[in-house]
Amino acid sequence: MKTGLLTVALVFALIAGVSAQPAETPRTGGVLRVATIGEPPTLDLHTTTAVIVQQVTWHVYETLFTYDRQYNAVPLLVDTHTVADSGRTYVFRLRRGVKFHNGKELSAADVVASLKRWGRLATPGKQFWKNVEGVEAKDPLTVALYLKEPSGAVLMGLARPNNGAAIYPKEIVDAAGDNPVKEYVGTGPYRFVEHKPDRHVRLARFKDYAPRTDTSDGFGGRRTAYVDEILFIPVPDVAVRLAGVETGEYHLALQIQQDQYERMKTMSGVVPGLIKPEGWSTAVLNHKQGLMTDKRIRQAFQAALDMEPIMAAGFGNKAFYRLDPGLSFPEQPQWHSRAGADLYNQKNPAKARKLLADAGYGGQPVRWITTKEYQWMYKNALVAKQQLEAAGFKVDLQVVDWATLVQRRNKPEAWDVFSTGITFNPEPAFSTATNCNWPGWWCHEDKEQWLDSLARETDPRKRRAMWEKVQQIFYDDVGRVKFGDYFGLDAVRKELHGYRPTNEKNLWNVWLSR
């Protein structure tokens, strides 16, 4: 009897052991090769909203907070924090023993210097800093942030990865001032090794990384660097990018054209990674200089467009786009609204023509800069151009590479419209889509007031109402022109495990099986 039971127990143990077999045990080692859309214009996260920069550098830098799976703010470099003075004072206690890549230990002085620089240089940073009275280091591990008014968006603002409040060593911040930093040193699980322009950006595991101990949830919690090195390789040609994953050349290829989805499903060894939503496609209008300063011309632009063919041309497969007027996505019910929907997707060239006549439009070419590096931007612009010209516009479509577009859009005299995508952002208060300082320079008194209130308000329902007001003004004043929501597609090798397709693309906690 006893031996019988023992045998059964043994068998069970064996079965349990076998079924717990590591199909999913992370393996350390290997070089992860990631094919990106092109060269990052810089590696200084404070200075640009270009998504490619964040996707590369946030393995190197860390912020005080980050997002969990639900896109709530959770602490990263912060250990605990307290809120005092009815929401006007935040006191952050930093984690002990966090090391920078140059060996220095993280201290409050580094945080203060970095936050100040972020508040000066970064688009969301400047917005955030409008409400900041001051920031200081109370002791080597404590930072106090004093606000002018209470705000519901502080932690989210500090957690934002794109153009985020990365913490650099104080010495590097001081040395750079307002110029781009010369060294790329952070506290992240990977450290910067080298950047060979047009070849790769190479990151290597940081041996002295101090991970959090809580379980990983979204981007929060424990971050483990399984792979030895990460290579970000610029491959501007999307055909080559995808083909490279098919043959195993790359483990991950970003921004694959959506109409390749069906084909990708048939490729052995390749897993399509859907990012829903990724962002919304838009034409940014120049409110500072040029044709688009005239509201009637803007309204004509908005009226003439038929969004369905524009989006269909850009994204192909219907599963990858959606027409929706919201500045936020239906996936965010707490923010999504249909305010201004009657001005979205008007398909009314007659109205456009009349508006152009009223404005006295004399046929001057509308200078529209776009790029083929994001294929859909080019196609959206191409179809929109055809529709606009049918409504009486003359459009000069200039196709450049993304790095040039990002630089040129800073010069108000150089363009009237440029193409871009507004990526998914969980916190509307810092959205670039509505920001006055961001290229496009859409500044509207009422809108600025609503945005300021939004940043300060803590009641979620009141915040939502404010955001709706902003959205209405977005359509009435034609801040930008939204084409539609789009979902992203990455190509993932099956040897890459643990990868969760998101906009931000985190490559910690992933491992290679081969």
Partner 1 sequence: MKTYIARRLAALLPVALVVATVAFILIHIAPGDPAAIIAGPDANAEDVARIQRQLGLDAPFHVQLFRWYGRLARGDLGQSIFLRRPVLEAIVDRAEPTILLTLYALLVAVALGVPAGVVAARHHDGAADQMLMAGALAGISIPNFLLGLLLILFFSVWLGWFPVAGYSPLEYGWFGTLRSLTLPAFALGVVQSALIARIARSAMLDVLREQFIVAGRAKGLAERAIVYKHALKNAMIPTVTVIGISLAILISGSVIVEQVFNIPGLGRLIISAVLRRDYPVIQGVVICIAGIYMLVNLAVDLSYVLFDPRVRYH
Partner 2 sequence: MSVLVLPRPAERESRRLLWLTRLVRRRATVIGLVLVVSTLVIGALAPIIAGDPLRMEVSARLTAPGAAHWFGTDDVGRDVWNRVVYGARLSLVVGASVVVLAFAVGLACGLAAGYWSRLDNPVMRVMDGLMAFPAVILAIALMASLGPSVVNVIVAIGVVYAPRVARIVRGSVLVIRETTYVEAARALGVSDLVILARHVLPNCLSPVIVQGSFVFAAAVLTEAALSFLGVGVPPYVPSWGNILAEGRLYLQQAPWLVVYPGAAIMLTIFGLNLLGDGLRDLLDPRLRGLVRERS
- State how far the Cα of 229 lies from the Cα of 410, in Å rounded to an integer: 34
- State how far the Cα of 243 lies from the Cα of 232, in Å rounded to an integer: 16
Among positions 56, 158, 366, 383, the unique one binding partner 2 when judged by CB under 8 A: 383
State the helix-helix crossing angle for 349-359 and 295-304, rounded to 10 degrees: 160
Among positions 82, 364, 386, 449, the unique one binding partner 2 when judged by CB under 8 A: 386
Q: Which is nearer to partner 1, 42 or 337 (CB)?
A: 42
Measured between alpha carbons, how far is residue 300 from residues 96, 275, 390 in Å? Answer: 57, 33, 12
Q: Which is nearer to partner 1, 198 or 445 (CB)?
A: 198
Task: Determine, following the binding rule CB under 8 A, whether residue 312 of this chain makes contact with partner 2.
Answer: yes
CB 278 within 8 A of CB 486: yes
Task: Determine, following the binding rule CB under 8 A, whether residue 382 of this chain makes contact with partner 2.
Answer: yes
Instruction: Supply the minimum distance, in Å, between the C-beta of residue 110 and partner 2.
Output: 44
Token pair for 214: 């809580």
| Among partner 2, partner 1, none, residue 246 binds (CB under 5-8 Å by kind) | partner 1
For 190, the enclosing helix (H) or strand (E) is strand 190-196
- DSSP characters for 344-387? SS---HHHHHHHHHHHT---PPEEEEEESSSHHHHHHHHHHHHH
Instruction: Supply the minimum distance, in Å, between the C-beta of residue 489 and partner 2.
Output: 13
Q: Is 269 left (phi over 0), alpha (psi -120 to 50) or beta?
A: left
Among positions 285, 313, 377, 512, the unique one binding partner 2 when judged by CB under 8 A: 313
**Sites of contact with partner 1 (CB under 8 A):** 196-199, 235, 237, 240, 243-244, 246-247, 249, 400-401, 403-404, 407-408, 410-411, 414
Q: Which is nearer to partner 2, 80 or 386 (CB)?
A: 386
Q: For residue 191, give the 3-state DSSP assignment.
A: strand
Task: Determine, following the binding rule CB under 8 A, whether residue 397 of this chain makes contact with partner 2.
Answer: yes
Task: Determine, following the binding rule CB under 8 A, whether residue 230 of this chain makes contact with partner 2.
Answer: no
Task: Determine, following the binding rule CB under 8 A, whether residue 414 of this chain makes contact with partner 2.
Answer: no
CB 378 within 8 A of CB 371: yes
Interacting stretch for partner 2, rule CB under 8 A, among 3-11, 235-243, 268-276, 288-296? 235-243
Interacting stretch for partner 2, rule CB under 8 A, among 62-70, 95-103, 194-202, 379-387? 379-387
Interacting stretch for partner 2, rule CB under 8 A, among 39-47, 253-261, 438-446, 489-497? 253-261
| Among partner 1, partner 2, none, residue 464 binds (CB under 5-8 Å by kind) | none
Instruction: Supply the minimum distance, in Å, between the C-beta of residue 310 and partner 2.
Output: 8
Instruction: Supply the minimum distance, in Å, between the C-beta of residue 263 and partner 2.
Output: 6
Nearest to 142 by CA among 78, 216, 55: 78
Q: Is the dihedral of CA 359, 360, 363, 367 positive or negative?
A: negative
Nearest to 299 by CA among 47, 476, 110: 476
Give the other-Cβ count within 10 Å of 31's Cβ.
13
Task: Determine, following the binding rule CB under 8 A, whether residue 347 of this chain makes contact with partner 2.
Answer: no
Task: Determine, following the binding rule CB under 8 A, whether residue 91 of this chain makes contact with partner 2.
Answer: no
Instruction: Supply the minimum distance, in Å, between the C-beta of residue 291 and partner 2.
Output: 20
- State how far the Cα of 335 lies from the Cα of 461, in Å rounded to an integer: 9
Where b means 16+ CB within 10 Å and e means fewer, 354-388 reads: bbbeebebeeeebbbbbbebbbbbbbbbbbbbebb
User: What are the residues facing 93 on neighbouring strands?
Assistant: 80, 142
Task: Determine, following the binding rule CB under 8 A, whether residue 408 of this chain makes contact with partner 2.
Answer: no
Q: Is 104 left (phi over 0), alpha (psi -120 to 50) or beta?
A: beta
Instruction: Supply the minimum distance, in Å, between the C-beta of residue 309 and partner 2.
Output: 4
Among positions 372, 404, 452, 465, the unique one binding partner 2 when judged by CB under 8 A: 372
Interacting stretch for partner 2, rule CB under 8 A, among 110-118, 119-127, 306-314, 447-455? 306-314
Token pair for 334: 């707490």
Q: For residue 284, give the 3-state DSSP assignment.
A: strand
Q: Which is nearer to partner 2, 382 or 436 (CB)?
A: 382
Q: Which is nearer to partner 2, 109 or 319 (CB)?
A: 319
Among positions 131, 257, 328, 419, the unique one binding partner 2 when judged by CB under 8 A: 257
| Among partner 2, partner 1, none, residue 263 binds (CB under 5-8 Å by kind) | partner 2
- State how far the Cα of 187 lies from the Cα of 214, in Å rounded to an integer: 18
Q: Which is nearer to partner 2, 132 or 397 (CB)?
A: 397
Task: Determine, following the binding rule CB under 8 A, whether residue 239 of this chain makes contact with partner 2.
Answer: yes
| Among partner 2, partner 1, none, residue 170 binds (CB under 5-8 Å by kind) | none
Task: Determine, following the binding rule CB under 8 A, whether residue 419 of this chain makes contact with partner 2.
Answer: no
CB 481 within 8 A of CB 352: no
Give the other-Cβ count within 10 Å of 36's Cβ.
24
| Among partner 2, partner 1, none, residue 382 binds (CB under 5-8 Å by kind) | partner 2
Give contact residues for partner 2 (rule: CB under 8 A).
Answer: 237-239, 242, 257, 259-260, 263, 308-310, 312-313, 316, 372, 379, 382-383, 386, 397, 399
